[in-house]
Amino acid sequence: MLHQILLAIQGSPELGGELPALPESLDFASGIFAAFLFALSLFAYRRTNLKRLLFVSAAFGLYSIRAVLPRMDIILPNLQITTIADTLISILGFVILGLFFLAIVKKN
The 10 Å Cβ neighbour count of residue 98 is 12
Task: Tell me the whole-structure pTM to 2 decimals.
Answer: 0.72
Q: What is the pLDDT of residues 48-74, one digit of tens each?
A: 999 999 999 999 999 999 988 776 655
Contact 12, 27 (CB under 8 A): no
Q: Where are the domains of the chain?
A: 20-105
Measured distance CA(101)–CA(63) in Å, rounded? 14
Measured distance CA(87)–CA(94) in Å, rounded? 11
Residue-by-residue DSSP string for 14-32 = GGTSPPPPHHHHHHHHHHH
Q: What is the pLDDT of residues 91-106, one digit of tens each?
A: 999 999 999 999 999 8
